[in-house]
Chain A
């Protein structure tokens, strides 16, 4: 069973969301998602300062096998992107919830954050897809 940290929120499209102390959120893809994709070889990051709506395709992760869109789990403004991934995309495989984060944003609507899945709900989603 893949690792699903209890303190994070999750989207149906397999992004995780960490709510930071300053109210910003950090976003990445889940261990389950990186496992399905395999070895990462390229990441296309969002633009810092970009304004996103919930569900926008805002980044691309590419493994040896395939390219996959990353969707904004919530709307808001992109504050920072993880530039280190450009040279080390495999960090998403080795540390998906830590150093493998993709971008940080300022949510525009707290209700969207509240509506994300908790770890239990996400675990059920993963189980239902297997």
Chain B
């Protein structure tokens, strides 16, 4: 039996097509994935992301704990509310999960990790915390999470949730969060658009969702969430990276903090070893011929073979795009094997789309 979020009934009311996603019964779309995608790029849409795992890490040694746990450096979090995107690695440098860490207080950091990796993440966090004095790991199953994204997202959130929210977020810079009583509002997201991710007590979630609906925020399913994040060039755990790939091979070198040099994070030794000679890299592809790029299609390049890790039709660009892991040194053009035909694709820097506009 799949788990249901506190917003399950709201999805049914909006005629969602529900699917199993990582053990959760989640909305795939509410009618048309393309319309929902466009809604987020041009106006405002909301996603139920309550299936994601919120974990509070508390205690006097929380900074030392996180400093060892993740590849990015929590030392960068100097102002309360600031957020950090990072990977949590195993000893061989493979990615256990990617996550956002919010600095909420000197002895309190909040982690948001993926839904599909919940159990292994919690087990890993607990086992690492056992080795440390005065650090507690608490999953916050009592919370729900709603992401409101799009150029009109902020205004519609204010219309739905009140002017005191406008006041509280007036100074909120990108990738920061603010606590307002039991609410946490963060200027983070997974679409490449402006907006908020709102963490809210589960009991209050259906009412807030309804207020957002009435303010003209359309519900958006997981289908559009995937095409939006792909256009934004954001990695998806389990597709673009996993425990067999390092951040350096996954387009995530920017999330690895090498300084200070004496910070001994888990996986550091393995990454140091790979650093000067990374065999593979993640690139963006734009299909030049006909068809649609899909995950696991073979990429043929002069240097050897690669593989598409995420691929789809891009509704904003009107052509097919992908992320692919290819040999280092791959040039500007590759071929992709689409059902036995070699179709040319251009290698590009991503993101593909940011704030509703093509970056190509």
The interface of chain A, by Cβ under 8 A from chain B, is: 38-39, 41-42, 44, 60, 62, 64-67
Q: A64 touching B315 by the CB < 8 A rule?
A: yes
Q: A64 touching B34 by the CB < 8 A rule?
A: yes
Contact residues of A: prevailing secondary structure: strand
B303 interface residue, CB < 8 Å from A?
no
Chain B residues bordering chain A, tally (CB within 8 A): 16
CA distance A38 to B294 in the complex (A): 16
B292 interface residue, CB < 8 Å from A?
yes
In the bound complex, residues from chain A placing their C-beta under 8 Å from that of B37 are: 64
Of residues 4 through 35 on chain B, the ones whose CB sits less than 8 Å from some CB of chain A are: 29, 32-34
In the bound complex, residues from chain B placing their C-beta under 8 Å from that of A39 are: 32-34
Q: B290 touching A64 by the CB < 8 A rule?
A: no
Q: A41 touching B223 by the CB < 8 A rule?
A: no
In the bound complex, residues from chain A placing their C-beta under 8 Å from that of B223 are: 38, 64-65
CA distance A16 to B290 in the complex (A): 26
B339 interface residue, CB < 8 Å from A?
yes
Contact residues of B: prevailing secondary structure: mixed
Q: A38 touching B313 by the CB < 8 A rule?
A: no
**Which listed residue, A38, A44, A62, touches B29 by the CB 8 Å rule?**
A38
Q: B32 touching A38 by the CB < 8 A rule?
A: yes
CA distance A60 to B37 in the complex (A): 24
Within the complex, the shortest CB–CB distance from B292 to chain A, in Å, comes to 5
Within the complex, the shortest CB–CB distance from A117 to chain B, in Å, comes to 25
Instruction: Given A38-B33, A39-B33, A41-B313, check contact A64 B227 (CB 8 Å).
Output: yes
Known: A44-B290, A62-B292, A64-B227. 7 other contacts (CB 8 A): A38-B29, A38-B223, A42-B320, A62-B313, A64-B33, A65-B33, A67-B294
In the bound complex, residues from chain A placing their C-beta under 8 Å from that of B313 are: 41-42, 62, 64
Most buried by B among A39, A41, A64: A64
Of residues 306 through 360 on chain B, the ones whose CB sits less than 8 Å from some CB of chain A are: 312-313, 315, 320, 339
Q: A60 touching B339 by the CB < 8 A rule?
A: yes
**Chain B: CB-nearest residue to A39:** B34
Q: B292 touching A67 by the CB < 8 A rule?
A: yes
22 pairs of residues in contact across A and B, judged by CB atoms under 8 Å = A38-B29, A38-B33, A38-B223, A39-B33, A41-B34, A41-B292, A41-B313, A42-B290, A42-B292, A42-B313, A44-B290, A44-B291, A62-B292, A64-B33, A64-B34, A64-B223, A64-B227, A64-B315, A65-B33, A65-B223, A66-B294, A67-B294
CA distance A38 to B227 in the complex (A): 14
In the bound complex, residues from chain B placing their C-beta under 8 Å from that of A66 are: 294
In the bound complex, residues from chain A placing their C-beta under 8 Å from that of B320 are: 42
CA distance A60 to B29 in the complex (A): 23
In the bound complex, residues from chain B placing their C-beta under 8 Å from that of A62 are: 291-292, 313
Of residues 191 through 207 on chain B, the ones whose CB sits less than 8 Å from some CB of chain A are: none
Of residues 262 through 311 on chain B, the ones whose CB sits less than 8 Å from some CB of chain A are: 290-292, 294
**Chain B: CB-nearest residue to A66:** B294
Within the complex, the shortest CB–CB distance from A56 to chain B, in Å, comes to 14
CA distance A67 to B290 in the complex (A): 13
In the bound complex, residues from chain B placing their C-beta under 8 Å from that of A64 are: 33-34, 37, 223, 227, 312-313, 315
CA distance A66 to B19 in the complex (A): 15
CA distance A41 to B312 in the complex (A): 10
Most buried by B among A39, A42, A67: A39
In the bound complex, residues from chain B placing their C-beta under 8 Å from that of A65 are: 33, 223
CA distance A42 to B311 in the complex (A): 14
In the bound complex, residues from chain B placing their C-beta under 8 Å from that of A44 are: 290-291
**Chain B: CB-nearest residue to A64:** B33
In the bound complex, residues from chain B placing their C-beta under 8 Å from that of A67 are: 292, 294
CA distance A67 to B313 in the complex (A): 11
CA distance A41 to B29 in the complex (A): 16
Binary CB contact string for chain B from 201 to 233 against chain A (1 if under 8 A, 0 otherwise): 000000000000000000000010001000000
In the bound complex, residues from chain A placing their C-beta under 8 Å from that of B33 are: 38-39, 64-65
In the bound complex, residues from chain B placing their C-beta under 8 Å from that of A38 are: 29, 32-33, 223
CA distance A35 to B33 in the complex (A): 12
**Chain B: CB-nearest residue to A42:** B292
CA distance A8 to B320 in the complex (A): 34
Within the complex, the shortest CB–CB distance from A57 to chain B, in Å, comes to 9
